[in-house]
């Protein structure tokens, strides 16, 4: 089911702000996340839902993937959100505070019933599960691995620290274990894994440090809360020219050797085998480079 | 008669004279001379040790032969902190002087208090590069019988040289001056930096009053205005509101939209073919325009590229780039913050220049002719790349020609940056309300929704496409934006002309018609 997409950035846009929604596509984020959940006050939930529904229909988000974060089904708003948003078939529904596979089953059942009522397929719109409670972290592998519609998991740092009764610190110490556990679950499931937001929009260096760390430990992208954060995250998650050149060389040599029936070969005296090739192919996909 | 941009221009206007239609940005210049003769500057004589010092501004005005029909000039280096223009006109009004021609290099919101003088006939004609706020609205609605003349900064110098503006009295605020009238804006509690726009006034006015709140020992250095042109000197408590004149540093915008546009514009510049060692650069002082400098600065550092000079309205950001060695020189005709004043005073590579050297088209070469890349804003732009920077979407006069057409004319690459719509109003039009800068001098439009290249510059478009930039046909972008905003109902005007927009060479590029009040 999964089409490869760059999800280096996911730009949160409050679902009750028409001007921001209208401009959402211009900043070059890989994904736009129209938020009906935490960014919207309780007394604005209905208005935001209607606004997002209408604006998805008419707004050009250019090349960005469009996702909608709905409210959890345990709230009074979750069901109504799904009823309005699922028929529009955005690229993905982001489901907050996912804690167990059972919750995902419940969510998928509801989504599929809505899709059936509208004559929509079950394999177009995907699900992003947000892990933002201790229970979610404990169950993350079962959440990530068992459902073909889940093609990304994300960590919600602020909610997670609240659930853990700890204070969020810039070094991310309190959520480091959760980050790595979530990454491992995603890698084992071959899906994307998106890091939490960096809350200080004026601290470009802090954002860069945290993003570099996120990339180093395995995240495939990072959520952003301000368009000014996009370029930094893209820079960090975009392979350098040298990395791309090297990957291109590896894949090209691999294809030539494969055609000659050779599985393992050497470049500059270093052995190249399947994992190296897989990594090189991933770099080229990130850079949107085809090997001719 | 129609000018070459298809705008209807009258052959003659009462109170203005015969009008010459615009025929192309370089058509008149290509002759190599100016047809209009240059008028002589006044001869003056002072006795040794004769005192120029007056106790009050009123005393200096009385000594300056005030009379009906006189022309009074001001500079706008104090920006929105100026108080002397209003004070001067109030004194003249109280003296019963009428039919004054006001020739200020620009007019700001702080000048709104003179509006009653336009109503009662104290002021009957205006020459300026910019008009805003209540004055702009009142003029658009027809408060004056004679149309205002909007000129560029370079064009103003030409107007004074040719006698189109004949200044009887120039009032020149200075942040430091001595008893002979040597004056500067580069130091003192009200420092505003360069005083470049006032130099031509001092040279040509029949009477010149320097007003300062900081009388220093003789001689006042630097001699931005020199004593041989100054008739009277006045010491006052204040020349203006220092908090609105120049404070601190100019900060780069935090607006994601402006930053997005600026980054795209910087990408355009980088890939244009003009981003080369020794390039000369000018940016505006605010919004997306200044933000372009932030990205260009980063690109210059990354590439190890060093430019030649920066020009124009100068901000602390330009000073930082000079101090970092990214440019060799700043030519400063107007300064925007306190840091700039300090640099102007202390750094010999930061050079104060008069408006004539900056942008007057009729001399042996103004510095705008040497610009490689300029970044400019716009209130509106049309599908022929003509730019309006003087009238707003509601029809009011609310902007400034300034150096827009001067720099666009001189630059090898003119980049206009603006959002594709403001509020619910599209900025890209089939036809702009008022043309200030002709499309033939505009190379690229950069908006948040795409980059449009003037089809007259094919090679540039090819360079940008090859760099992978998102180039759109301006007609397609216009349609795209109209789909978002809808097409606003057209404004309604009468046949009366309330403003004449001079191109820098003195030809008329457009006129502004009286706005019908209900259409505002």
Asked if A128 and A95 count as a contact pair (C-beta separation under 8 A), the reply is yes
Q: What is the CATH number of the domain that holds A18?
A: 3.20.20.60
Tell me if A2 is assigned to some domain: no
Higher per-residue confidence, A265 vs B308:
B308
Per residue in B481-491, pLDDT tens?
999 999 999 99
CB-nearest partner of A227 from B256, B449, B484? B256
Per residue in A148-205, pLDDT tens?
999 999 999 999 999 999 998 888 999 999 999 999 999 999 999 999 999 999 999 9
Asked if B246 and B192 count as a contact pair (C-beta separation under 8 A), the reply is yes
A115 lies in the same domain as A256? no
Of the pLDDT bands very low, low, confident and very high (cuts 50, 70, 90), residue B251 is confident
Alpha carbon distances (Å) from B39 to A120, A177, B19, B149: 81, 82, 19, 20
The whole-number pLDDT of residue B519 equals 44
Tell me if A292 is assigned to some domain: no
User: Above 90 in pLDDT, residue B439?
Assistant: yes
Tell me if A42 is assigned to some domain: yes
Q: Tell me, yes or no, if A158 comes closer than 8 A to chain B by beta carbon.
A: no
How many CB atoms within 10 Å of residue A159?
Answer: 18
- Residues of chain B with Cβ-Cβ distance to A228 below 8 Å are 254, 256, 259
The whole-number pLDDT of residue B518 equals 64
Write down which residue in A237, A253, A268 finishes a domain: A237
- E strand or H helix that includes residue B464: helix B458-466
A139 lies in the same domain as A248? no
A163 lies in the same domain as A66? yes
Tell me if A3 is assigned to some domain: no
**What is the mean pLDDT of the segment spanning A238-257?**
92
**Strands, sheet with B387-388, edge to edge from the N-terminal-most edge strand:** B387-388, B380-382, B428-429
Write down which residue in A237, A256, A271 finishes a domain: A237
The whole-number pLDDT of residue A2 equals 40
Alpha carbon distances (Å) from A4 to A136, A151, A232, B87: 26, 10, 22, 69
Residue ranges making up the domain that contains A20 = 9-237
Per residue in A208-217, pLDDT tens?
999 999 999 9
**What is the mean pLDDT of the segment spanning A122-140?**
97
DSSP of A174-194 = GGHHHHHHHHHHHHHHT-EEE
- In angstroms, the separation between the Cα of residue A32 and the nearest Cα of chain B is 15
* Structural tokens at position B307: 């430019």
- CA–CA gap between residue A174 and residue A157 (Å, rounded): 9
User: Above 60 in pLDDT, residue B520?
Assistant: no
Q: Tell me, yes or no, if A231 comes closer than 8 A to chain B by beta carbon.
A: yes
**What is the mean pLDDT of the segment spanning B267-282?**
98
A157 lies in the same domain as A206? yes
Higher per-residue confidence, B519 vs A123:
A123
Quick one: residue B60, left, alpha or beta (phi over 0 = left, psi -120 to 50 = alpha)? alpha
- In angstroms, the separation between the Cα of residue B256 and the nearest Cα of chain A is 6
CB-nearest partner of B259 from A23, A60, A228? A228
- In angstroms, the separation between the Cα of residue B5 and the nearest Cα of chain A is 33
Q: Tell me, yes or no, if A281 comes closer than 8 A to chain B by beta carbon.
A: no
The whole-number pLDDT of residue B287 equals 84
- CA–CA gap between residue A88 and residue A81 (Å, rounded): 11
- Residues of chain A with Cβ-Cβ distance to B257 below 8 Å are 23, 26, 227
CB-nearest partner of A27 from B254, B256, B480? B256
DSSP of B466-513 = HTT--B--HHHHHHHHHHHH-PPPPP-EEEEEEEEEE-TTS-EEEEEE
A211 lies in the same domain as A278? no
A189 lies in the same domain as A51? yes
Among all chains, which residue has been given the structure tokens 């130099």? B199
**What is the mean pLDDT of the segment spanning B4-26?**
97
**What is the mean pLDDT of the segment spanning B77-83?**
95
Q: Tell me, yes or no, if A24 comes closer than 8 A to chain B by beta carbon.
A: no
CB contact under 8 A, A228 and B480: no
User: Above 80 in pLDDT, residue B374?
Assistant: yes
Q: Of A190, A122, A121, give the one whose Cα is nearest residue A153.
A: A190
The whole-number pLDDT of residue A3 equals 46
Number of independent structural domains in chain A: 2
CB-nearest partner of B256 from A60, A202, A228? A228
CB contact under 8 A, A27 and B260: yes
A202 lies in the same domain as A111? yes
A21 lies in the same domain as A164? yes
A134 lies in the same domain as A247? no
Residues of B with CB under 8 A from a CB of A: 254, 256-257, 259-260, 263, 448-449, 480, 484
A95 lies in the same domain as A138? yes
Average pLDDT over chain A, rounded to whole?
Answer: 94
A212 lies in the same domain as A283? no
Tell me if A168 is assigned to some domain: yes
Model pTM greater than 0.90? yes
A178 lies in the same domain as A266? no
**What is the mean pLDDT of the segment spanning B17-23?**
97
CB contact under 8 A, B263 and A231: yes
- Residues of chain B with Cβ-Cβ distance to A204 below 8 Å are none
- The count of CB pairs under 8 A between chains A and B is 21
The burial of B455, by beta-carbon neighbours within 10 Å (0-12 exposed, 13-18 middle, 19 or more buried), is given as exposed
Write down which residue in A218, A237, A256 finishes a domain: A237
- In angstroms, the separation between the Cα of residue B337 and the nearest Cα of chain A is 23
- In angstroms, the separation between the Cα of residue A20 and the nearest Cα of chain B is 10
- CA–CA gap between residue A206 and residue A66 (Å, rounded): 27
Per residue in A226-246, pLDDT tens?
999 999 999 999 999 899 999
User: Above 80 in pLDDT, residue B137?
Assistant: yes
Asked if A95 and A78 count as a contact pair (C-beta separation under 8 A), the reply is no
The whole-number pLDDT of residue A129 equals 98
Average pLDDT over chain B, rounded to whole?
Answer: 96
Mutate to test the interface with B, among A20, A23, A26, A228 (most CBs of B within 10 A): A26
Mutate to test the interface with B, among A9, A14, A23 (most CBs of B within 10 A): A23
Mutate to test the interface with A, among B256, B258, B424, B449 (most CBs of A within 10 A): B256
**What is the mean pLDDT of the segment spanning A28-43?**
96
- In angstroms, the separation between the Cα of residue B448 and the nearest Cα of chain A is 6
Asked if B518 and B507 count as a contact pair (C-beta separation under 8 A), the reply is no
Tell me if A4 is assigned to some domain: no
């Amino acid at each position: 089911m999964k089409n490869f997409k760059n999800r280096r950035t996911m730009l949160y846009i409050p679902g009750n702000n028409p001007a921001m929604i209208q401009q959402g596509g211009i900043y070059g984020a890989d994904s736009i996340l129209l938020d009906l959940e935490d960014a919207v006050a309780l007394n604005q939930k209905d208005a935001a839902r209607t606004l997002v529904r209408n604006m998805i229909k008419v707004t050009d988000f250019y090349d960005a993937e469009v996702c909608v974060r709905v409210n959890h089904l345990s709230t009074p708003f979750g069901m109504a959100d799904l009823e309005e948003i699922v028929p529009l078939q955005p690229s993905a529904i982001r489901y907050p505070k996912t804690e167990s596979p059972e919750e995902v089953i419940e969510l998928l059942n509801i989504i599929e019933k809505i899709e059936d009522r509208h004559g929509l397929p079950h394999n177009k719109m995907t699900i992003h599960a947000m892990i933002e409670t201790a229970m979610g972290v404990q169950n993350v592998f079962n959440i990530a691995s068992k459902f073909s519609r889940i093609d990304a998991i994300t960590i919600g740092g602020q909610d997670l620290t609240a659930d853990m009764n700890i204070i969020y610190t810039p070094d991310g110490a309190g959520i480091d274990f959760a980050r790595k556990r979530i990454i491992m679950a995603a890698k084992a499931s071959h899906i994307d894994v998106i890091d939490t937001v960096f809350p200080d929009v004026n601290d470009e260096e802090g954002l860069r440090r945290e993003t570099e760390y996120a990339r180093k430990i395995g995240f495939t992208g990072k959520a952003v809360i301000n368009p000014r954060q996009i370029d930094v995250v893209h820079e960090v998650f975009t392979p350098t020219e040298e990395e791309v050149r090297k990957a291109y060389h590896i894949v090209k040599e691999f294809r030539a050797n494969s055609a000659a029936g050779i599985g393992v070969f050497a470049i500059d005296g270093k052995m190249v085998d399947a994992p190296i090739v897989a990594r090189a192919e991933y770099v080229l996909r990130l850079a949107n480079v085809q090997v001719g | 008669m129609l000018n070459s941009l298809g705008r209807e221009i009258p052959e003659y206007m009462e109170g203005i004279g015969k009008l010459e239609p615009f025929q192309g940005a370089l058509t008149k210049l290509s002759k190599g001379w100016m047809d209009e003769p240059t008028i002589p500057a006044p001869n003056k004589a002072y006795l040794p040790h004769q005192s120029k010092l007056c106790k009050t501004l009123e005393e200096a005005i009385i000594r300056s032969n005030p009379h009906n029909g006189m022309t009074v000039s001001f500079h706008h280096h104090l920006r929105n902190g100026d108080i002397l223009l209003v004070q001067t006109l109030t004194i003249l009004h109280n003296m019963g002087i009428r039919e004054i021609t006001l020739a200020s290099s620009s007019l700001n919101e702080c000048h709104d208090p003179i509006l009653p003088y336009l109503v009662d006939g104290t002021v009957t004609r205006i020459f300026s590069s910019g008009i805003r706020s209540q004055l702009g609205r009142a003029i658009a609605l027809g408060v004056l019988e004679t149309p205002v003349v909007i000129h560029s900064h370079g064009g103003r110098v030409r107007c004074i040289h040719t006698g189109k503006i004949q200044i009887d009295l120039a009032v020149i605020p200075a942040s430091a001056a001595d008893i002979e009238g040597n004056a500067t804006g580069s130091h003192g509690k009200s420092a505003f930096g360069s005083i470049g726009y006032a130099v031509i006034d001092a040279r040509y006015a029949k009477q010149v009053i320097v007003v300062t709140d900081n009388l220093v020992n003789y001689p006042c250095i630097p001699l931005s205005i020199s004593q041989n042109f100054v008739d009277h000197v006045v010491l006052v408590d204040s020349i203006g509101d220092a908090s609105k004149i120049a404070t601190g540093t100019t900060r780069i915008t935090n607006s994601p939209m402006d930053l997005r546009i600026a980054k795209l514009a910087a990408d355009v510049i980088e890939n244009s073919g003009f981003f080369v060692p020794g390039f000369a650069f000018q940016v505006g002082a605010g919004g997306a325009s200044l933000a372009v400098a932030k990205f260009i600065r980063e690109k210059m550092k990354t590439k190890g590229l060093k430019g030649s000079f920066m020009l124009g309205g100068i901000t602390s950001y330009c000073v930082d780039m000079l101090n970092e060695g990214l440019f060799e020189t700043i030519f400063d005709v107007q300064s925007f913050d306190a840091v700039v004043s300090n640099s102007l005073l202390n750094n010999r590579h930061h050079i104060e220049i008069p408006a004539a050297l900056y942008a007057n088209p009729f001399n042996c070469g103004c510095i705008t002719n040497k610009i490689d890349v300029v970044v400019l804003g716009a209130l509106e732009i049309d599908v022929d790349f003509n730019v309006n920077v003087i009238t707003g979407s509601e029809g009011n006069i609310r902007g400034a020609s300034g150096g827009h057409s001067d720099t666009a004319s001189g630059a090898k690459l003119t980049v206009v940056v603006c959002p594709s719509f403001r509020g619910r109003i599209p900025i890209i039009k089939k036809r702009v309300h008022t043309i200030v800068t002709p499309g033939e001098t505009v190379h690229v439009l950069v908006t948040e929704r795409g980059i449009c290249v003037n089809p007259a510059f094919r090679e540039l478009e090819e360079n940008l496409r090859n760099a992978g930039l998102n180039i759109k046909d301006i007609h397609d972008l216009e349609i795209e934006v109209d789909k978002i905003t809808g097409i606003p109902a057209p404004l309604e005007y009468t046949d009366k002309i309330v403003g004449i927009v001079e191109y820098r060479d003195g030809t008329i590029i457009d006129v502004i018609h009286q706005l019908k009040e209900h259409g505002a």
